[in-house]
Structure 1
Amino acid sequence: MKTSERLDRLPPYLFAELARKIAAKKAAGVDVISLGIGDPDTPTPALVPDALAAAAHDGGTHQYPSNRGRPELREAFARFYDRRFGVELDPETEIVPALGAKECVFNVNLAFLDPGTAALA
């Protein structure tokens, strides 16, 4: 089946391309320290899956959030950063929940770098 032109124009997935480049460097004998995708090497604390299961059973969580995320979540993030790092963040203007770090890294680059712009990696 032929794919759409839109799909054909999509660039390769960033982290798949990085993995390919890292593998090529390693195959060439280069000692690579990858700062790409971080995979956890410790078990997930039991409270995390327990809280996820409880939320899945709570009918109040069966809705899409706004594109800015729930205010309670942004406020909780702000409290955490203040408590953990001593950093005060405005939950209305300085916090945007995302699907994960990869989404954030990708979108920050789209927001601040134009095609052809050099960036330190």
Structure 2
Amino acid sequence: MKPDFSKMNGLLTTVVVDVNTKAVLMVAWMNEESFQKTLASGETWFWSRSRKELWHKGATSGNTQRVVSMTLDCDGDTLLVTVDPKGPACHTGRSSCFFNPIELTKEGNLNDTTES
């Protein structure tokens, strides 16, 4: 199966997972060019929606991600990339970009902490 770049303005949602810990490290976007660069280099490349340019993960920080496997979802528009990370995935220096918990009530609802 090949990625379907005809959806979502030519972008694939890309979920990056650590091969050893199985932790979700980050979510980013790939276009066809970054997908091809990832395949050719064996390291992750993404498309920056804000800067409108390709970026090689770790190009400036040294925190590269060696690709171990890539799997498409059933629709071909979301990519799961398993990597061996060489350092933290998050620009904050944390291993994962997912570290901000959402509080839930005992009933499992969101705890609304906003003031009325």
TM-score range (shorter-chain normalised) is: under 0.3
TM (normalized to structure 2)? 0.19
Structure with max Cα Rg: 1
| Structure with the largest fraction of strand | 2
Q: Which has the higher contact order (CA 8 A, sep 6+)?
A: 2
